């Protein structure tokens, strides 16, 4: 039985995190095509096939013309008839040009149009699937990784489904038409040439097998690196304060090394296969003449048959070359599709979007946990609950208290069905919640979390988020406004909201960046109060509020209970025991068990664990004087609401964002190329080798034209004379073709490997430097909405990848094409300059259309990038607050908003798509006009005996090659546009100078810092609101090794002082001195090492507990690590874990409770042995026992160092050397705790209000 139970538990844990391997079929993507899309794609595919087929039509026309010219030379064709025939054949090229223009436009426009639409649906399906997953899935994968798959991976799919797919189908059309034509002309010769198809199939399957492994490995490294970077950027203040920029950069560098290693092998292998494929094409060319001549001599095949098949084979080879630069795109798309579709097809064991499950008609709110056992899937070795039994009556208000990590918040997670329990039942009104509809269940619960999450929108909309799961959705806007205001007043938020510039319409920023912690909590409470849900859960919901505000909210909750016809069941999880004195029942948790329960009075009478917790908290709040009790202050909003350091910056700062800076015009595209070249300076020798190889590969094409001319000339003479040496002569030139094939194969392999290496190094360097550039920016840079973590990571992941559009296989292909163009023009001028100049007269038209297409593509990329970046940022923000999203059932609103972003982008891209497709089609069709002109004029020259057939063939073939080369170059216009746009953005970012640069070696270094701090007439306003002065002529001197505390109303400037001390910002006037030296004169990196900061909402990074404590300090002895952990009261908890210090904390420390994270953050600060210690609400989320122990640790920690504290729990600062009361950026009172009480001023009023 035990084995069966263990197996059942293991299966429950496994299915919560496992994602089954999904082998994506090439046809899987068609599930996301509508009937309209299929119609457009069908037309576009047919047009692409026709466009590809038109490439071999010139071979037919040329062979017929060559036959005519041969007869003219042999004197068997009348000149009058010849001229008419030549004119007719030349017109054929014009007809081909018209057909090619139409087909190229339709194919390109259609595939880009449907590619964007289908990719958007895949993104929607992916986001929809992610939003319905259970929480363990997010604990295992991390929101950062999922967000990157949503943005960077789907973009790779879009590129493959758009213009690159059009090019691939066009190439297939060329190959198919070549085969059909060859079989029609002479099937025996065609069968001989079919070996190349078998060889091509082998190459394809070999590439697919190798690419699958290495692309998947590289993608895993990329995802892990981006997720780590996202964590660092989203917690940039913690990253900067701990000096983790170098550590994050080096870890990111290691991920980049793995990416580059896999990418280099994959691209080099692709280059090898391409070289073999192109070599095989030239061998086929040799075979066509060798065996074709044999059939020609034996009268089995005609001159036209042999020449047409040979030339068509050559054209097919060029088509392969044109598609070669897109191989990487398809390999990457196939690799990422597996991961995307595996998530899309994952069935969540707790599906919030499922319509199955019961809904109760009349919810009372009775809750029961019966024999519950729970294990977190991310920590399977430790059971949180084991046979837990609790019962909460309907309408009761129940307090849940206990030490940090005792399982209090887990109650919330299980009641919300974030996780599955291993054993037992959880009942709502006697009904197992597993049988209830998940979305309906969550709509009956409103939750206010310890770390409240707000969405990037107005205050009004954030409060209204409590409405969609109630019956109030259909009420009028006027009534909604009344409800919002009523809820805000009940949450004591109305006053501070009305003092904001836009009131309830004020934008809160990403996760409430423009608001303080207390303000965010009150808006979250208002969001809960507006709901009519029958169960209200407050999980440390008032930790950041003062006592009076907390009591006002409690009174409002009581009023709501009285006024409601059916009482609301309320769960209050708290460490502040005064909060639960009047509740109906108190549950005392310890190590996952309820050890006591009862009312406050009964538990105090029992004198058990609860009694000791209360007494401990009372002893902490007792003052030095017997008359003094716990002191707090009324947190009222002043007229000057503090624009915190996390305030969203105004338009002036937003204009400097990478997404908009790229729109600024650089001096020229040459400067962008120089910038890209500067990133690859170290690889110059390899680049030089690749360039030489490309030049060799390109120059061989004109040589092949000469060999082709020789073969045609020999066959032409054989028609007239029946020369017995025809076969032997052609055999020699066929052998020369074989030599060219081997050289071509070698050149392609060499240039492929060289540019693969340079491409990977370029992307590696660009990504690394971009992350370094982001991390070194001022904190004000990150306050901008355009610089949210989601936007910056999207920028890091996608814009750097776009550089591949002008590097690697693409660059090699373009270089080969350009060298072919130049060499072809030179050779044609040597063999027949008249015809060469006439034919080349249209080449500038091709270039003009192509260059304009590149310019349009770049403009298109710039205009749509910002919208797609906004969509990415929105999705990232939503996934980072997935618990709030899930609890509020906000998935549909998120999908709707996400869709709106993409629809806007698609509407703007439609016109640009039309323009770029037109110019691309023009650049591809003009070359046929070039052929028409060449044939007409060449025929005239042959008729007049100025040129021979050999001259015409060489010149015409080389001009044909040059025209095809120009077409290939500009088929990459979208890649060029993206690359140039990315280069512009990257250049702007990398050249952006930070006034507070941690990478700079400039500045003084204090040899023996004492920690003396002095503010001299400091005035400061946040860059977003320079008219609002937060600190005004602020002066304060803090002696070395003193403990100073700041208290005051929200917005008075307390946290701003910390931000200025950390040098997140510089003062507007005045200066801050450390040991008599202005901090502006100190080296930033060295100075921040002197400071230890513990914030109200501590941030932990993915990794182990030890890695989070050390943060790159490898020289810390184990004894010191244990010592600081004991001081922070976290050592025993760590040792209780099966993996101890090696325990993984999860993304942002999700596997730990708030109190555990706060104690780890304190230990992390102490382990740095800072000379200055900054504590911002460092004990707000810990229980009374932990608070006492941490306070004792702080009392020990402050010895020998300067300490500054901000707190609501004034008991923690009663021993401070000085307490400063702030108001509107100025100190209005200062003194010790006793002195301020005796002074009977503002501090005393705070005390009296509390009493």
Q: Are residues 341 and 372 in the same domain?
A: no
Q: Is the pTM of this model over 0.85?
A: no
Cβ atoms of 297 and 725 closer than 8 Å: no
Within a domain: 352: no
Does residue 1186 surpass a pLDDT of 70? no
Tally of CB atoms within 10 A around 609: 18
Within a domain: 198: yes
Give the mean pLDDT of 431-451: 89
Say how many CA atoms lie within 13 Å of 308 toward its Cβ: 26
Does residue 67 surpass a pLDDT of 70? yes
Within a domain: 996: no
Cβ atoms of 321 and 403 closer than 8 Å: no
Within a domain: 1057: no
For 277-321, the pLDDT digits (tens) are: 778 878 888 888 888 888 888 888 888 888 888 878 777 766 665
Does residue 89 surpass a pLDDT of 70? yes
Spatial distance between the Cα atoms of 400 and 413, rounded to a whole number of angstroms: 14
Predicted local distance difference test score (pLDDT) of residue 716: 81
Token couple for 113: 């149009």
Does residue 653 surpass a pLDDT of 60? no
For the chain, what percent of residues have pLDDT higher than 70? 83
Q: Are residues 371 and 331 in the same domain?
A: no
Q: Are residues 338 and 376 in the same domain?
A: no
- Please list, in sequence order, all residues whose beta carbon lies within 8 angstroms of the beta carbon of residue 134, skipping any fewer than 6 positions away: 16, 348, 349, 350, 418, 419, 420
Q: Which of 812-821, 911-920, 957-966 has the lowest mean pLDDT?
A: 957-966
β-pairing verdict for 383-392 and 569-573:
unpaired
Cβ atoms of 72 and 16 closer than 8 Å: no
Residue 1137 burial by Cβ neighbours in a 10 Å radius (0-12, 13-18, 19+):
middle
Predicted local distance difference test score (pLDDT) of residue 1027: 65
For 133-163, the pLDDT digits (tens) are: 888 888 877 777 787 788 778 888 887 888 7
Q: Are residues 218 and 318 in the same domain?
A: yes
**559/662: higher pLDDT:** 559
Q: Which of 361-365, 539-543, 681-685 has the lowest mean pLDDT?
A: 539-543
Q: Are residues 340 and 382 in the same domain?
A: no
Write down the mean pLDDT value for the chain. Answer: 80
For the chain, what percent of residues have pLDDT higher than 90? 12
Q: In the chain, how many domains are there?
A: 3
Vertex 860: Cα angle to 857 and 863 (nearest 5): 155
Spatial distance between the Cα atoms of 764 and 807, rounded to a whole number of angstroms: 13
Predicted local distance difference test score (pLDDT) of residue 175: 82
Spatial distance between the Cα atoms of 594 and 368, rounded to a whole number of angstroms: 13
Residue 96: CATH number of its domain? 1.20.1560.10
Give the mean pLDDT of 610-631: 57
Q: Which of 950, 976, 991 is the last residue of a domain?
A: 991
80-89 — which CB contacts under 8 Å span 24+ positions? 82/939, 82/943, 83/939, 83/940, 83/943, 86/935, 86/936, 86/939, 86/940, 86/943, 87/936, 89/61, 89/64, 89/65, 89/935, 89/939
Give the mean pLDDT of 935-962: 82
Q: Are residues 593 and 667 in the same domain?
A: no
Q: Which of 967, 991, 1015 is the last residue of a domain?
A: 991
- Please list, in sequence order, all residues whose beta carbon lies within 8 angstroms of the beta carbon of residue 714, skipping any fewer than 6 positions away: 293, 723, 726, 729, 730, 733
Does residue 116 surpass a pLDDT of 90? no
Within a domain: 146: yes
Predicted local distance difference test score (pLDDT) of residue 623: 41
Model confidence at 1039, pLDDT cuts 50, 70, 90, reads very high
Q: Are residues 579 and 481 in the same domain?
A: yes
Spatial distance between the Cα atoms of 42 and 31, rounded to a whole number of angstroms: 15
Within a domain: 691: yes
For 834-892, the pLDDT digits (tens) are: 888 887 777 777 667 666 655 665 566 556 666 566 777 788 778 878 888 888 888 88
**840/753: higher pLDDT:** 753
Model confidence at 714, pLDDT cuts 50, 70, 90, reads confident
Give the mean pLDDT of 1062-1083: 91
Spatial distance between the Cα atoms of 596 and 603, rounded to a whole number of angstroms: 8
For 211-268, the pLDDT digits (tens) are: 666 777 777 788 788 888 888 888 888 888 888 888 899 999 999 998 888 888 878 8
Model confidence at 586, pLDDT cuts 50, 70, 90, reads very high
Tally of CB atoms within 10 A around 17: 18
- Please list, in sequence order, all residues whose beta carbon lies within 8 angstroms of the beta carbon of residue 536, skipping any fewer than 6 positions away: 445, 446, 448, 528, 557, 568, 569, 570, 571
Largest CA distance in the chain: 128
Spatial distance between the Cα atoms of 114 and 40, rounded to a whole number of angstroms: 7
Does residue 1133 surpass a pLDDT of 90? no
Q: Are residues 816 and 853 in the same domain?
A: yes
Does residue 636 surpass a pLDDT of 50? no
Q: Domain range holding 612? A: 367-507+515-621
Spatial distance between the Cα atoms of 444 and 253, rounded to a whole number of angstroms: 47
Predicted local distance difference test score (pLDDT) of residue 626: 35
Residue 1104: CATH number of its domain? 3.40.50.300
Model confidence at 82, pLDDT cuts 50, 70, 90, reads confident
Predicted local distance difference test score (pLDDT) of residue 836: 84
Give the mean pLDDT of 736-751: 87
Does residue 630 surpass a pLDDT of 50? no
Model confidence at 361, pLDDT cuts 50, 70, 90, reads confident
Predicted local distance difference test score (pLDDT) of residue 26: 64
Q: Which of 937, 957, 991 is the last residue of a domain?
A: 991
What does residue 130 show for φ and ψ, rounded to 5 degrees? -60, -45
Q: Are residues 342 and 398 in the same domain?
A: no
For 894-910, the pLDDT digits (tens) are: 888 888 877 777 777 77
Spatial distance between the Cα atoms of 725 and 702, rounded to a whole number of angstroms: 26
| Residues making up the chain, counted from first to last | 1251
Q: Are residues 595 and 735 in the same domain?
A: no
Does residue 638 surpass a pLDDT of 50? no
Three-state secondary structure call for residue 1008: coil
Token couple for 829: 């001028």
For 409-433, the pLDDT digits (tens) are: 899 999 999 999 989 999 999 999 9
Within a domain: 1240: no
Give the mean pLDDT of 120-142: 88
The DSSP result for 1086-1151, as a single string, is HHHTTEEEE-SS----SSBHHHHHHTT-TT--HHHHHHHHHHTT-HHHHHHSTTGGG-B--GGGTT
Does residue 1197 surpass a pLDDT of 50? yes
Q: Are residues 382 and 316 in the same domain?
A: no
β-pairing verdict for 535-539 and 569-573:
parallel
Within a domain: 630: no
Q: Are residues 341 and 371 in the same domain?
A: no
Alpha-carbon distance values, 802 to 114, 257, 435, 983 (Å): 21, 19, 49, 9
Which of 155-159, 541-545, 1211-1215 holds the top average pLDDT?
155-159
Predicted local distance difference test score (pLDDT) of residue 1025: 62
Does residue 328 surpass a pLDDT of 80? no
């Amino acid at each position: 039985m035990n084995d069966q139970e263990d197996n059942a538990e293991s299966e429950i844990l496994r299915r919560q995190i496992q994602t089954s391997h999904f082998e994506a079929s090439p046809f899987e993507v068609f599930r996301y095509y509508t009937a309209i899309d299929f119609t457009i794609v069908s037309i576009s595919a047919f047009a692409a096939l026709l466009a590809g087929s038109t490439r071999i039509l010139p071979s037919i026309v040329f062979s017929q013309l060559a036959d005519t010219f041969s007869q003219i030379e042999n004197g068997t064709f009348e000149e009058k008839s010849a001229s008419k025939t030549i004119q007719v054949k030349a017109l054929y090229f014009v007809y081909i040009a018209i057909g090619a223009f139409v087909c190229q436009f339709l194919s390109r426009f259609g595939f880009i149009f449907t590619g964007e639409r289908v990719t958007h649906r895949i993104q929607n399906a992916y986001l929809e699937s992610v939003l319905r997953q259970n929480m363990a899935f997010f604990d295992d994968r991390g929101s950062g990784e999922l967000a990157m798959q949503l943005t960077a991976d789907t973009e790779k799919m879009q590129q493959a489904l758009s213009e690159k797919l059009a090019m691939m189908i066009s190439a297939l059309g060329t190959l198919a038409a070549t085969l059909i034509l060859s079989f029609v002309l002479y099937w025996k010769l065609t069968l001989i040439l079919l070996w190349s198809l078998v060889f091509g199939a082998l190459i394809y399957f070999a590439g697919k097998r190798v690419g699958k492994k290495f692309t998947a490995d590289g993608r895993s490294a990329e995802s892990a690196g981006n997720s780590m970077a996202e964590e660092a950027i989203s917690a940039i203040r913690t990253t900067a304060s701990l000096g983790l920029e170098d550590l994050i950069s080096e870890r990111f560098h290691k991920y980049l090394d793995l990416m580059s290693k896999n990418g280099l092998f994959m691209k080099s292998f692709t280059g090898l296969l391409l070289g073999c494929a192109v070599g095989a094409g030239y061998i086929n060319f040799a075979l066509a003449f060798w065996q074709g001549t044999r059939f020609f001599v034996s009268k089995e095949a005609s001159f036209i048959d042999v020449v047409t098949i040979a030339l068509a084979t050559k054209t097919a080879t060029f088509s392969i070359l044109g598609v070669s630069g897109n191989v990487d795109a398809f390999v990457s798309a196939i690799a990422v599709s597996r991961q995307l579709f595996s998530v899309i097809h994952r069935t969540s064991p707790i599906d919030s979007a499922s319509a199955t499950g019961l809904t109760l008609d009349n919810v009372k709110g009775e809750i029961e946990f019966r024999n519950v056992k729970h294990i977190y899937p991310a920590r399977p070795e430790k059971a949180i609950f084991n046979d837990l039994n609790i019962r909460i009556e309907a309408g009761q208000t129940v307090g849940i208290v206990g030490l940090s990590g005792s399982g209090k918040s887990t109650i919330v997670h299980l009641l919300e069905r974030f996780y599955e329990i291993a054993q037992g039942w959880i009942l709502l009104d006697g009904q197992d919640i597993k049988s209830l509809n998940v979305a309906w269940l969550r709509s009956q619960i409103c939750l206010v979390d310890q770390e409240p999450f707000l969405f990037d929108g107005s205050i009004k909309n954030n409060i209204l988020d409590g409405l969609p799961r109630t019956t109030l959705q259909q009420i009028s806007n006027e009534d909604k406004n009344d409800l919002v205001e009523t809820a805000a007043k009940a949450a004591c938020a109305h006053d501070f909201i009305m003092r904001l510039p836009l009131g309830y319409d004020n934008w809160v920023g990403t996760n409430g960046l423009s608001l303080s912690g207390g303000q965010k909590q009150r808006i979250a409470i208002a969001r809960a109060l507006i709901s009519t849900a029958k169960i209200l859960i407050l999980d440390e919901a008032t930790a950041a509020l003062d006592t009076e505000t907390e009591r006002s909210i409690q009174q409002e909750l009581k009023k709501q209970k009285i006024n409601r016809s059916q009482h609301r069941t309320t769960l209050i999880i708290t460490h502040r025991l005064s909060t639960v004195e009047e509740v109906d029942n108190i549950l005392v948790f310890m190590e996952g068990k309820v050890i006591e329960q009862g009312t406050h009075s009964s538990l105090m009478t029992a004198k058990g664990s609860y009694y000791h917790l209360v007494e401990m908290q009372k002893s902490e709040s007792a003052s030095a004087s017997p008359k003094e009790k716990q002191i707090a202050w009324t947190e009222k909003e002043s007229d000057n609401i503090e624009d915190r350091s996390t305030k969203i910056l105004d338009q002036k700062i937003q204009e400097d964002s990478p997404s908009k800076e790229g729109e600024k015009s650089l001096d020229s595209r040459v400067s962008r190329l120089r910038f890209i070249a500067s990133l690859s300076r170290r690889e110059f020798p390899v680049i030089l080798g690749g360039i030489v190889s490309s030049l060799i590969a390109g120059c061989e094409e004109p040589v092949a034209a000469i060999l082709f001319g020789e073969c045609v000339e020999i066959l032409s003479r054989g028609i007239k004379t029946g020369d017995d040496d025809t076969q032997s002569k052609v055999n020699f030139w066929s052998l020369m073709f074989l030599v060219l094939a081997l050289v071509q194969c070698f050149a392609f392999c060499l240039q492929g490997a060289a540019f693969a290496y340079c491409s990977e190094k370029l992307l590696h360097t660009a990504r690394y430097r971009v992350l370094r550039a982001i991390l070194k920016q001022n904190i004000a840079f990150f306050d901008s909405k355009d610089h949210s973590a989601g936007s910056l990571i999207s920028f890091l992941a996608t814009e750097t990848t776009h550089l591949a559009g002008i590097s690697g296989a693409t660059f090699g292909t373009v270089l080969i094409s350009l060298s072919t163009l130049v060499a072809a023009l030179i050779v044609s001028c040597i063999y027949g300059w008249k015809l060469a100049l006439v034919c080349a007269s249209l080449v500038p038209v091709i270039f003009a259309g192509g260059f304009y297409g590149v310019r349009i593509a770049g403009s298109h990329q710039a205009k749509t990038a910002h919208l797609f970046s906004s969509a990415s940022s929105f999705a990232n923000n939503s996934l980072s607050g997935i618990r709030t999203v899930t609890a509020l059932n906000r998935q549909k609103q998120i999908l709707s908003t996400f869709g709106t972003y993409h629809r806007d982008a698609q509407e703007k891209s439609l016109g640009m798509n039309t323009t770029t497709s037109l110019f691309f089609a023009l650049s591809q069709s003009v070359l046929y006009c070039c052929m028409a002109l060449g044939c007409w004029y060449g025929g005239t020259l042959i008729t007049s005996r100025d040129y021979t057939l050999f001259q015409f063939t060489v010149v015409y073939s080389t001009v044909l090659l040059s025209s095809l080369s120009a077409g290939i170059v500009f088929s990459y216009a979208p890649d060029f546009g993206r690359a140039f746009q990315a280069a512009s953005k990257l250049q702007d970012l990398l050249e952006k100078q930070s006034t507070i640069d941690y990478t700079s070696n400039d500045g003084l270094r204090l040899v023996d810092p004492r920690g003396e701090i002095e503010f001299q007439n400091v005035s400061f306003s946040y860059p977003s609101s320079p008219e609002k002065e937060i600190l005004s002529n602020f002066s304060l001197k803090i002696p070395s090794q003193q403990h100073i505390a700041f208290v005051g109303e929200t917005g008075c400037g307390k946290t701003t002082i910390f931000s200025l001390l950390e040098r997140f910002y510089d003062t507007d006037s005045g200066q801050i001195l450390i040991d008599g030296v202005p901090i502006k004169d100190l080296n930033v990196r060295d100075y921040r090492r002197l400071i230890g900061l513990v914030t109200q909402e501590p941030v932990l990074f993915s990794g182990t507990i030890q890695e989070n404590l050390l943060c790159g300090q490898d020289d810390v002895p184990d004894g010191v690590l244990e010592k600081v952990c004991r001081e922070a009261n976290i050592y025993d908890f760590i040792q209780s874990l099966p993996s101890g210090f090696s325990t993984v904390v999860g993304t942002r420390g999700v596997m730990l409770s708030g109190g555990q994270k706060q104690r780890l953050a304190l230990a992390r600060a102490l382990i740095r042995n800072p000379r200055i210690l900054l504590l911002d609400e460092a004990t707000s989320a810990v229980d009374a026992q932990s608070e006492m122990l941490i306070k004792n640790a702080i009392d020990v920690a402050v010895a020998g160092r300067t300490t500054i504290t901000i707190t609501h729990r004034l008991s923690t600062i009663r021993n401070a050397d000085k307490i400063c009361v702030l108001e509107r950026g100025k100190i209005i009172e200062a003194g010790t705790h006793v002195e301020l009480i005796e002074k009977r001023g503002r501090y005393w009023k705070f005390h009296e209000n509390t009493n």
